[in-house]
Amino acid sequence: MSSQPDIDDALREAIISRPDVILDDNDLMHALIAANDRSMGGNIVDLRGLAMERLEARLDRLEDTHRSVIAAAYENLAGTNQVHRAILRMLDPLEFETFLRDLGGEVAEILRVDAVKLVLESVQNDNDPAVKRLGDVLSVAEPGFIDCYLTQGRGGAVRQVTLRQVQEADPAIYGDAGDWIRSEACLKLDFGDARLPGLLVFGAEDPHMFGPQQGTDLLAFFTGVFERAMRRWLG
């Protein structure tokens, strides 16, 4: 009785010459292991096979984690470059009105947000002609408005950066654009001693653009740069 395997000679030679082709192919290895299990019968427990399955599952989880870490690293790098570009553009203007117009224009485009609003608290009214000219970006509010807005009237501690989804955006911030704003990043601004605070708000139509589970390091850095730029204009 011949023991010669029923396999094509050319295929057999190819496998012998390059066994790594089979070892690197998951589907082929699974098929070989399954055939080996069948040949042993149903009464034998293959501990080595079970160990290999567990190691393979761990390897799959490690590969998924590795891909997730790489993706997060690329996303963080892209976000860092995006914020740096926005800051450089924000620092270009030599006049305050140009600074604010760019904030709602090119800076918003670089950051890929749909609305940028700057709120300044003041004890004076908002009848200043400059405020009216820049109404698309700038608005003036009464003292205490910013903390109330950030805490949604509940009081308590106020973070420098607040990321959240919104159902009905406040028209005092967004005006008519509030109908389609679904998430926002709120950056509380500290202009120094004896000055009332400010608030820079980035609004997005995408409800997943900003959320409380996201990191705030880059936006905190942007806030610090913006505060220093504003102090220059405030004198």
Q: What is the CATH number of the domain that holds 224?
A: 3.30.450.40
Which residues are CB-neighbours of 150 under 8 A, at least 6 positions away? 158, 159, 162, 186, 188, 199
Instruction: For residues 17-38, give the mean pLDDT.
Output: 72
On the question of pLDDT at 6 being above 70, the answer is no
pLDDT digits (tens, 9 = 90+) for 128-185: 555 556 567 888 889 999 999 999 878 788 899 999 999 888 888 888 777 889 999 9
Burial 46-73 (b: 16+ CB within 10 A, else e): eeeeeeeeeeeeeeeeeeeeeeeeeeee
Q: Which of 44, 34, 50, 203 is nearest to 114 (CA)?
A: 203
Instruction: For residues 205-217, give the mean pLDDT.
Output: 90
On the question of pLDDT at 101 being above 50, the answer is yes
Does 84 map to a domain?
Answer: no
Q: Which of 111, 76, 72, 88 is nearest to 209 (CA)?
A: 111
Q: What is the pLDDT of residue 44?
A: 59
pLDDT digits (tens, 9 = 90+) for 42-62: 565 566 666 777 777 787 788
Residue scoring higher pLDDT (60 or 221): 221
Q: What is the pLDDT of residue 132?
A: 55
Q: What is the pLDDT of residue 1?
A: 45
Does 199 map to a domain?
Answer: yes
Give the C-alpha separation, 132 to 29, whole Å: 72
Instruction: For residues 187-192, give the mean pLDDT.
Output: 92
On the question of pLDDT at 3 being above 80, the answer is no
Q: Average per-residue pLDDT in the chain?
A: 81
Give the C-alpha separation, 117 to 103, whole Å: 9
Does 74 map to a domain?
Answer: no
| The token pair that represents 154 in the structure block | 């509940």
The per-residue DSSP string of 92-143 comes to --SSHHHHHHHIIIIIHHHHT-SEEEEEEE-SS-S--HHHHHTTTTEEEE-T
Rank 19-23, 46-50, 67-71, 180-184 by mean pLDDT and report only the highest: 180-184
Which range of residues forms the domain containing residue 179?
94-234
Give the C-alpha separation, 72 to 67, whole Å: 9
| The token pair that represents 16 in the structure block | 């012998």
User: What's the domain count of the chain?
Assistant: 1
| The token pair that represents 175 in the structure block | 């005006």
